Amino acid sequence: MASHFLLSLLFAPLIALAQEPAIVTPIADGARIESLLNTAKSRATTELTARATIMSLTYSSPAPLNVLILYVTDGQFDPLDSLVARLPPGTRNTVNIDLTESPGWTPRERMYRLHFLSESTEGAAFEDIEFAGGSLWSIILAGLKQFIRPLPFSPSSYHRLPSYTVLGIPLVPLVGAMILFLSGWFLWSKNVQVALVIPITALLLYNLRFSMDTVRYSLTHSREWVRAQTYATAGALPQIGYDLLKENATGVYLCHTGTSFSKRTLAYHVYPVLITDDNPSHAVVHASMDWGYTNGILSCGSDAFRARKIKEYSDGSLLFSLSAS
């Protein structure tokens, strides 16, 4: 079933319908969403409900567009299920966005929150959105793609890989039901050996699949730390925390644009030192869109400090010591 939605917006974003596939990338972390929203010069947002594998968009824009697609459930969304589509500038462009690229895609009806983000203040003209369902074969392929896709990694005070889901169905109970059925069948057929081999083999294969992701992330993060002293979406914050403790910091001012993730991450690494605006001894600039450093003055939004730059990190973060005004 296809649903048709007609829009006309004199604002930031747009998209297109059918011939050309868009470049679609799953969102690796919430920080990417922050960056996209904060750097857009103009934007528009809408929410649509559909059961579909393809979203076709038609638009006109003087500048490239990013379409941020959030898969919404009960008003909430998982950043790791989100997609971003990169669209070229042009007049009456038509593009297909493959919704099955999301790890959270299911063949059921879903609500999609669309953020149309333009790199130009001139905005764009948004004409048409059309959703199209897929064949049984395309749904099967989407399920296989989700199974072989690497699990997303979530860094926090504990680091975890979520369990596997295929087409919105958790894989553990699905595999468990299959094991019970097959083992029961062979027990009924009085083939006890095969009935015992089935659950053991299934557990070994499942853990092998999980271990592949664990080893891959361990190698990736180890190489990243050795080469750049950064760690996944936390960037240089773990190294900055270590340097702050060596500096005997008594309070840290964080200049950052986005959610509280960076503040919580830095607070974890500098404990018991507080992240504070009240008489800090040091300042950290990390992923900020509104800061400057000129003639020994560090500014962040409306705040300003006398500062001395101590260190610049490979992800662009900076560490400053502060002095009384």
Q: Which residue has the higher pLDDT, 191 or 302?
A: 302
Mapped onto helix, strand or coil, the DSSP state of residue 232 is: helix
Residue with tokens 């109970």: 173
Query: Is residue 180 predicted with pLDDT exceeding 90?
Result: no
- For 83, half-sphere exposure in the C-beta direction (CA atoms, 13 angstrom radius) is 24
How far is residue 32's CA from residue 29's CA, in Å, rounded to a whole number?
6
pLDDT in tens, 164-177: 777 877 778 888 88
Closest CA to 63 of 84, 89, 82, 45: 89
Please give the pLDDT value at position 12.
Answer: 33
Q: Give SS3 for 6.
A: strand
Q: Which of 178, 95, 104 shows the shortest CA–CA distance to 145?
A: 104
**For 105-132, what is the mean pLDDT?**
83
pLDDT score, position 157: 53
pLDDT at 27: 67
Residue of higher predicted confidence among 325 and 163: 163
Is 16's pLDDT higher than 80? no
Which domains does the chain show, CATH number per domain? 3-139 (2.60.120), 158-228 (no CATH), 232-323 (no CATH)
Give the range among 29-38, 170-179, 261-270, 298-307 with minimum mean pLDDT: 29-38
| Residue 322, SS3 per DSSP | strand
Stated pTM of the model = 0.63
DSSP state of 295: T
* Residue 57 confidence (pLDDT) above 90: no
